[in-house]
Amino acid sequence: MNDYTPTDYVNAFRNLNLQPYQRRMLEIHYCAPNHTLTATQMAKAMGFRNWGGANLHYGVLGKLVAEMLGWHPMPETKLYVLSEFEKPGREWHWIMRSPVVSAMEILGWAKTEQSRIPEEVEVTTSIHEGAVREIRVNAYERSSVAREQCILHHGCKCAACGIVLADVYGESAQGYIHVHHLRQLSEIRENYKVNPIRDLLPVCPNCHAIMHMRKPPYSIQEIKNLIHAQKQNANNALHTDEMQAQRR
């Protein structure tokens, strides 16, 4: 393919008016270590059924970008406009092309819109001033990558209720999820650096809101218990209604 510049990609992305989930795929790809992932990882992070879904959706995006650039790839090479490929093991690695990486940074897409972790920027007086600054820096400058790495590892399924938002809201919500920070602010020390796999978990916006109704927040297990208890209540009520109906 031709050597397109970051500016070419910036213009293409700007003119394309991408769907939220299409931009989300680019964000996930950008935030993967070394801007490299497999189709399986992309599928997990986006909530696609399998690697084939990732291939399909990223391929469609590649085709759109290629058309905007004025490049006409063969059907099987439309992904090349976004990625280079290597096969070090069983699965192909998609490596985001460096002009695409630069374009993402120029557009400000490298910091994703879902990137803020609210509990990291809550300021409490018990924390040393420097630590507060450090946590702010963490939250605004690093957590973007941290949250994407959490999602790359855990996927975009809610850890509390098990929902995948796209199953309810369709394609627009594909890959959308909040991330909850599991550590208490009181445990956080000055040199704390978030561990994306251990300290963060994906949760849907509903569960996340309920978790933060209490301080300290409800744990994932407590939310699971609430959901379970409420299901049982509903079942019992239904059962009682049925019994009464039968008696009539």
Backbone dihedral region for residue 163 (phi beyond 0: left; psi -120 to 50: alpha; all else: beta): beta
CB closer to Zn ion out of 23 and 180: 180
Answer whether 201's CB lies under 8 Å from 146's CB: no
Least Å distance, CB 17 to Zn ion, is 30
Q: Does the protein bind Zn ion through residue 166 (CB under 5 A)?
A: no
Given candidates 161, 182, 226, 227, which one binds Zn ion under the rule CB under 5 A?
161
Name the token pair of 78.
Answer: 């439309």
Answer whether 161's CB lies under 8 Å from 223's CB: yes
> Distance between CA atoms of 147 and 45, rounded to whole angstroms?
11
Q: Does the protein bind Zn ion through residue 188 (CB under 5 A)?
A: no
Least Å distance, CB 236 to Zn ion, is 23
Binding region for Zn ion (CB under 5 A) out of 93-101, 128-136, 180-188, 238-246: 180-188
Q: Supply φ then ψ for residue 74, to 5 degrees.
A: -65, 150
Which 203-222 residues touch Zn ion, going by CB under 5 A? Answer: 204, 207
Other beta carbons less than 10 A from residue 97's beta carbon: 20
Q: Does the protein bind Zn ion through residue 158 (CB under 5 A)?
A: yes
Given candidates 180, 185, 202, 210, which one binds Zn ion under the rule CB under 5 A?
180
Given candidates 37, 150, 151, 160, which one binds Zn ion under the rule CB under 5 A?
160
Least Å distance, CB 49 to Zn ion, is 20
| Residue at 219: amino acid letter | S
Binding mask 90-119 for Zn ion (x = CB under 5 A): ------------------------------
Least Å distance, CB 155 to Zn ion, is 13
Tell me the HSE value of 222 on the side-chain side, using a 13 A CA sphere: 11
Residues 6+ apart with CB under 8 A from 2: 69, 71
> Distance between CA atoms of 45 and 29, rounded to whole angstroms?
10
Least Å distance, CB 119 to Zn ion, is 5
Q: Would you tell me which residues interact with Zn ion (CB under 5 A)?
A: 158, 160-161, 180, 204, 207
